[in-house]
Chains A and B, each alone.
Chain A
Amino acid sequence: AQSVAQPEDQVNVAEGNPLTVKCTYSVSGNPYLFWYVQYPNRGLQFLLKYITGDNLVKGSYGFEAEFNKSQTSFHLKKPSALVSDSALYFCAVRDSPGGSYIPTFGRGTSLIVHP
């Protein structure tokens, strides 16, 4: 079985400060991990993914995420937040081939960047 948790409903950060949106996961095998962003009344936009390789993954719009196998985490980070980063962020996980090929999404974290 696969599951993902986003422990924070909302994250508040001041513009220019670093941001972190947390995500932890549970899978039977190896995880495929994803981050998506959703702006109001829009679909989800792909930010980045971890399949294999370097634990630090760089994605769109200056975002990055670090895969930590021992802590089963895949936190999303950005060194300097922008007001335009304010949106809903979803973490998703898929088990490795052989498991479910349909990802499970977290409940989402609302990021609010204050000017």
Chain B
Amino acid sequence: GAVVSQHPSWVICKSGTSVKIECRSLDFQATTMFWYRQFPKQSLMLMATSNEGSKATYEQGVEKDKFLINHASLTLSTLTVTSAHPEDSSFYICSAREPGGEGSYEQYFGPGTRLTVT
């Protein structure tokens, strides 16, 4: 099946610094990728939909200037948390839909990135 990777798997950074998380589809081209945030023992919160070659679509309440998303190629999307604060500490998960457009079905998820801001 389709494989999605994320890097890094965990990162610790100091408050005020920026952190970049990469999401790659390894064996398929993903025109659309999704970024989720998950708090402990809670469901996934969709942050934004990343479209290759265009601006990301952010969900209501997500600060687009704080969470910068770039979908540079058909296999890579990046999430940059700018000026990170302790409240940004969370588990960030990306996913990609299999090729086929809106008719495609399941999403394939990356392993997640644990961000801790000290």
Contacts and interface: CB of A to CB of B under 8 A. Distances in A.
B42 interface: yes
Contacts of A42: 111-112
B20 to A, nearest CB: 18
Interface residues of A, number: 23
Interface of B: 1, 4, 6, 34, 41-44, 46, 49, 91, 93, 95, 102-103, 105-112, 114
A107 B103 CA distance: 25
A46 B94 CA distance: 14
Given A90-B43, A105-B44, A108-B42, A97 B102 contact: yes
Contacts of A51: 105
B106 A107 contact: no
A41 B112 contact: yes
Contacts of B49: 102
A88 B43 CA distance: 10
B34 A102 contact: yes
Nearest to B2: A46
